[in-house]
Structure 1
Amino acid sequence: MRKILTTIIMISLVLLAAIGSSLMGKSESKSVAMTTITGEVIDIACFMGHDASGKNHTKCAVQCAEKGIPLAILDEKLQQIYLPLALDHSSPNAKLLNYIAQRVTVTGRVIKKGGLTGIEIKSIEPAHAVKAK
């Protein structure tokens, strides 16, 4: 009887350890349905390191992107940076290159994970200026 009880306890401990380790290995990922955001296309290095953005920074941002520096979309209102996600393993910068230092409206699936926020871009177009009433 004691041997059976010991075996049951050992099996239970192994199962609990396996379940616990699999739960610890998962990081929280939050995916949202299709979302539309508006913001400026920035290069991460100059924005983070030099607070550089806008039309006066276009030439530098293009050079940075050509060297492989990641581009992103800055939502000025939320102060949120969205990294472009290329889940098809293409260049994540490709869809943003023609819009550097411009305001754009992007529709896509937003994914938050590990402190980062990304967007899988489905459509992108220049943002229309909101006219004051």
Structure 2
Amino acid sequence: MSLNMKTLTQALAKTAAVIEKTVQTTVQEVTGPKPLQDYDLLDQIGSAGPGLIWKLYSAKARSESALSHQYPTVCIWLLDKRSLSEARMRAGLSKSVEDSFSDVVRADAARFVRLRHPWFLLVV
């Protein structure tokens, strides 16, 4: 069996990428999504959406930053995927419907982040 340096380097790079992705996934499962690592959730202050799948929480930034001084308390919107799955099952809908809904939510959130207005909401 003959290995050249290029093949070995490619194999090691692929292995490193798999290990890095596994570590990131594991850390996220333990600590929560990155945005939630930056904030301490205080209280649930509301729910919204179909089946009340959005949970709204008041939160404070963990680190001292310019935004944490300007906005000492923020509102975090979390999509409760468990409630979404339960609502889908109760309605007798397929998993593809849930996936389509999630895609629409992601696209809407991406558009929402790009909105800029001095009297509107700041998305952190």
Give the structure-2-normalised TM-score. Answer: 0.31
Give the structure-1-normalised TM-score. Answer: 0.30
Q: Name the structure where helix makes up a greater proportion of residues.
A: 2
Q: Name the structure where strand makes up a greater proportion of residues.
A: 1
